[in-house]
């Protein structure tokens, strides 16, 4: 029997190593029982150690993917990830201004955890001016928040001040993420939508954190597509990232990805059990 489920769209880049980008987003949507559609912005040659090459798709092709999905399937929520250059951001902003979507999570991907710059310098201004004001939720990491707020972030108070400054750029809510800290702020995020809240989890001791940011924003989009109110969509998404981090995958020589499908990793499950049998 066919079922009707919510649909979420990711506009993001491909990570050939499978840990971040579109690959992380689609696995996250699937975990949340949300159908995932995708508009690819660029292809990265990437592994757990870094990005060796990037090629962009044309802005027209990016928008063609979005238009084709929205016209037929429809989407309840979307997210943006790695957008790479100014002309792709302009094209997406043009589309979204003419065709607003019910909910939009903007992950302002600029710098990866491994330190690679993932976006052209002149694209940052366009992201700030055109896309960020359209966001239901904006999810900068520590370095991205420093760029957007124009300040150094060293303390919890700095995170709160930065969140407030970034909120003034026009998103409905901001989550400044603390995964980039190596001290007690690791895993502490700040929510700001006019009111501030500290979102805390137990820090997970692992070097395998590739794709945490993509996973958080995709999980927020999936929860919004399911009709969950924004603050709860964020806190539930954070719980999912924490569980996925607790089951992160030790693959590759660098930072392995989080374990998106962690219930399937449970050692009590095997091909003979109910997950795999239809009887």
Ligand X SMILES: Nc1ncnc2c1ncn2[C@@H]1O[C@H](COP(=O)(O)OP(=O)(O)OP(=O)(O)O)[C@@H](O)[C@H]1O
Ligand Y SMILES: Cc1ncc(COP(=O)(O)O)c(N)n1
Query: Can you tell me which of 79, 210, 238, 260 binds ligand Y, judged by CB under 6 A?
Result: 210
Q: How far is the CB of 244 from ligand Y (least distance, A)?
A: 12
Q: Which of 81, 136, 177, 215 is catalytic?
A: 177
Min CB(186)–ligand X separation in Å:
5
One residue of 81, 108, 171, 213 binding ligand X per CB under 6 A: 213
User: Closest distance between ligand Y and the C-beta of residue 30, in Å?
Assistant: 18
201 part of the interface to ligand X, by CB under 6 A: yes
143 binds ligand Y (CB under 6 A): no
| DSSP states along 91-102 | HHHHHHHHS--S
Catalytic residue of the set 213, 215, 230, 256: 213
In the list ligand X, ligand Y, none, the entry touching 81 (Cβ below 5 to 8 angstroms by class) is ligand Y
Active site (annotated) includes residue 194? no
Asked if residue 139 binds ligand Y (CB under 6 A), the reply is no
42: left (phi over 0), alpha (psi -120 to 50) or beta: beta
Q: Are 179 and 209 in contact (CB under 8 A)?
A: yes
Q: How far is the CB of 105 from ligand Y (least distance, A)?
A: 14
Specify whether 213 is catalytic.
yes
Within residues 50-89, the interface with ligand Y by CB under 6 A covers 81-82
Instruction: From 54, 55, 62, select the one nearest 78 (Cα to Cα).
Output: 62
What backbone torsions phi and psi does residue 52 show, to the nearest 5 degrees?
A: -105, -20
DSSP per-residue codes, 48-80? TTEEEEEEEPPHHHHHHHHHHHHHHT--SEEEE
Residues 232 and 220: their CA atoms lie apart, in Å, by 9
Q: Is residue 161 helix, strand or coil?
A: helix
Are 89 and 130 in contact by the 8 Å Cβ rule? The answer is yes
Contact with ligand X (CB under 6 A): which of 43, 50, 64, 113? 113
Bridge partners of 10, per DSSP, are: 38, 79
User: What is the distance of C-alpha 196 from the center of its chain?
Assistant: 21
State the catalytic residue, choosing from 48, 209, 215, 230: 209
Q: How far is the CB of 188 from ligand Y (least distance, A)?
A: 18
Identified binder of ligand X from the candidate list 212, 223, 230, 248, rule CB under 6 A: 212
Nearby residues of 60 by Cβ (< 8 Å), 6 or more positions away: 91
Write out the residues near ligand Y by the rule CB under 6 A.
12-15, 20-21, 44, 46, 81-82, 109, 112-113, 118, 210-211, 213-214
Write out the residues near ligand X by the rule CB under 6 A.
20, 112-113, 141, 177-180, 186-187, 189, 201, 203-204, 209, 211-214, 216, 238, 241-242, 245
């Amino acid at each position: 029997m066919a079922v009707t489920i919510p649909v979420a769209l990711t506009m993001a880049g491909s990570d050939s190593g499978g840990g971040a980008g579109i690959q992380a987003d689609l696995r996250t949507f699937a975990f949340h029982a949300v159908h995932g559609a995708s508009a690819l912005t660029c292809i990265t040659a990437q592994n757990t150690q870094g990005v060796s090459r990037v090629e962009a798709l044309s802005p027209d092709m990016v928008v063609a993917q979005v238009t084709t999905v929205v016209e037929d399937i429809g989407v309840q929520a979307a997210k943006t990830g790695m957008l790479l250059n100014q002309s792709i951001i302009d094209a997406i902003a043009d589309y979204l201004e003419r065709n607003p979507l019910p909910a939009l999570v903007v992950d302002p991907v600029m710098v990866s955890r491994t330190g690679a710059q993932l976006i052209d310098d002149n694209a940052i201004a366009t992201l700030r001016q055109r896309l960020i004001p359209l966001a239901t939720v904006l999810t900068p990491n520590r370095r991205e928040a420093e760029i957007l707020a124009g300040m150094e972030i060293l303390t919890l108070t700095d995170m709160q001040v930065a969140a407030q400054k970034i909120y003034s750029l026009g998103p409905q809510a901001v989550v400044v993420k603390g995964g980039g800290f190596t001290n007690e702020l690791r895993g502490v995020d700040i929510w700001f939508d006019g009111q501030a809240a500290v979102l805390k989890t137990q820090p997970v001791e692992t070097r395998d954190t590739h794709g945490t940011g993509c996973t958080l924003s995709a999980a927020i989009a999936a929860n919004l597509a399911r009709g969950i109110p924004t603050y709860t969509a964020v806190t539930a998404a954070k719980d999912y990232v924490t569980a996925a981090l607790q089951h992160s995958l030790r693959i590759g020589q660098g930072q392995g990805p989080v374990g998106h499908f962690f219930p399937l990793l449970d050692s009590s499950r095997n091909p003979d059990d109910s997950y795999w049998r239809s009887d």
